[in-house]
A and B are shown apart, each in its own frame.
Chain A
Amino acid sequence: MDEARISRHGSRARLWLAGGWLLIALLAAIFAPLVAPQDPLAQDLMLERLPPFWLGGAEPGYWLGTDSLGRDLLSRLIFGARIAFIVAFAAAFAACLVGSTLGLIAGYFGGWADRIISRIVDVWMAFPPVLFAILLVAVLGTGLSSVIIAIAVIDWTRFCRVIRAETMGQSRMDYVENARIAGYGRIGIMLREVLPNVVPSIVALLSLEMGIAVIVEAILSFVNLSISTDDPTWGGIIAEGRLSIHQAWWVLVFPLVTLILTVLSFSQFGEGLRARFDPVLR
């Protein structure tokens, strides 16, 4: 009982901390033009490599310092959050929709449907994901939508595998037979009885996937395959920061910290949500 209470406290704290960070980042992204202290693209060579506010030589209004072209780091991070969140939501939802649907079908109907879908997943997962993404973007051309499509195309298998297993477990429950006894058809049972019981897993996975999408987008920008280099992306900023690590460490460290916090928050938020709202979890 004690452990249960502690873990419940733990899950609540985790939910609030992760949710809080995500909310701040999301609001910043939505209201970026209002919140950002500077124009993220404005270059000023007089202001290059300003340190963050607590170090000597900092300029007011440039809280986290500037990069080698004199662009305000905080503003770039805030505008970068826009792209990160657009990619996170769009790619994760697309992957979720495809993967969960196929997983539900494979897990519930079994037989041939399962065999075909499972084989496709096996083959799909044999591709190294990052190389696959680079290849896809190379074919589709760089740009926001290519990044989103690439992530969805690669990562739907994650949903498919987990949801299939979960659905198979739920389908063995007597309530599924009970619904047949009540006169429901197969698809009705799948949607009405089974789906609500796999939703918590879908939600947790969705949140996790958003974090993964943020990382993949950062990787693609890092290798310059995301969107145009002018637009600030977290991965792009990290790539630039790497070049000036000895002169201006903050250009590398702040976007990295932002990225890690965001990805961690996505995964913790999903788990926390599941623990909190699943009446069946003991």
Chain B
Amino acid sequence: MNAPAKPCLDIRNLSAVLPNGLRVLRSVSLAVEPGEVRALVGESGAGKTMIGKAVLGVLPPSVRIVEGNMLLEGEDLGRLAPKARRTLIGARTALIPQDPLTALNPSRRIGPQMTDRLVRILGWSGEKADARIRQLLDEVQIRDPERVLKCYPHELSGGMRQRVLIAAAFAAEPRLIVADEPTTALDVTVQKQILRLIAQLQREHGTAILFVTHDLGVVAKISQKVSVLYAGKVVEEADTAALFAAPQHPYTLALMAATPRYTDPFASLKPVDDKVLAGLAAEIAAADQAWRRPHG
């Protein structure tokens, strides 16, 4: 009982390159413990979405993983045959996407889209899948599931669509959910409801979440652990509480100072200092050089 549990997701030293040799992930290591929310925060181009895609096995074909391992509940994804890998990922993970509109097929009703995955990938019976979906729609506080199941995606509001996708993600009882900027497209008041829902379902189902976001505010509210990314490199990782109490890396500090806060307008929105960026560039260059040496 006291034996240390295996992390739900364990990424070790993951590097990925583009065909032109540019490293887009730079020896990334991070772990998500069972039932924990780890935020992955960074600006555009930081590679945060790329990590989520790597975990789900949906990297674009041009991105090649050249080093490192990804362990899903102790199983090394890199060592599995493609089919076995797909099955494992399909059974144990789920995605809450950024754009709920493009994530749903516009020409199919919500109901069959939600049950499909349960029936096809997990081999559930139609009735079981249907019952499960209804239960989850109830959990995401959709009051009239009958109507929603018969709707086409465009007939629902953005918030409703995101609720549907959250229900679908939790329905198969995955061990790990990758949430890729799930509230970026939403209004603040809806964002708060959705974050609340994700947190509540996550607690009740004990699901681990890799939560990709660009917003430090969201990080503070939703996560227990956080990895700060810049240019595909984890520059700082910490308990969320510790990170906000005392950020260590100059980039984290700069990011916090740049994030707007209405409670303290003049201490926030500080442009990132050029010295910080120069320091980051040097750090990345040094890391790349150290990495190239053994890799030729």
Q: Do chains A and B touch in the complex (CB under 8 A)?
A: yes
Q: Which A1-52 residues have C-beta < 8 A from chain B? A: 1-3, 5
CB-CB < 8 A to B62: which residues of A? 1-3
Q: Which B1-50 residues have C-beta < 8 A from chain A? A: 18-20
Chain B, residue nearest A4 (CB): B62
- Our count of residue pairs bridging A and B at CB distance below 8 angstroms stands at 10
How distant is B63 from chain A, measured CB to nearest CB, in Å? 9
CB-CB < 8 A to A5: which residues of B? 19
CA distance A2 to B61 in the complex (A): 9
CB-CB < 8 A to B19: which residues of A? 1-2, 5
How distant is B238 from chain A, measured CB to nearest CB, in Å? 34
Chain A, residue nearest B60 (CB): A1
CB-CB < 8 A to A2: which residues of B? 19, 61-62
CA distance A124 to B20 in the complex (A): 51
CB-CB < 8 A to B18: which residues of A? 1
CB-CB < 8 A to B61: which residues of A? 2-3
CA distance A1 to B19 in the complex (A): 7
CA distance A2 to B64 in the complex (A): 11
Q: Which A186-202 residues have C-beta < 8 A from chain B? A: none
Q: Scoring B residues 55 to 88 as 1 if CB is less than 8 Å from chain A, else 0, what string do you get?
A: 0000001100000000000000000000000000
How distant is B228 from chain A, measured CB to nearest CB, in Å? 27
CA distance A2 to B19 in the complex (A): 6
CA distance A6 to B1 in the complex (A): 56
CA distance A6 to B61 in the complex (A): 14
CA distance A224 to B124 in the complex (A): 69
Chain B, residue nearest A5 (CB): B19
Chain B, residue nearest A3 (CB): B62
Q: Scoring B residues 130 to 144 as 1 if CB is less than 8 Å from chain A, else 0, what string do you get?
A: 000000000000000
Additional pairs, 8, CB under 8 Å, beyond known A1-B19, A3-B61: A1-B18, A1-B20, A1-B62, A2-B19, A2-B61, A2-B62, A3-B62, A5-B19
Q: Which residues of B contact A (CB under 8 A)?
A: 18-20, 61-62
* Chain A to chain B contacts (Cβ below 8 Å), 10 pairs: A1-B18, A1-B19, A1-B20, A1-B62, A2-B19, A2-B61, A2-B62, A3-B61, A3-B62, A5-B19
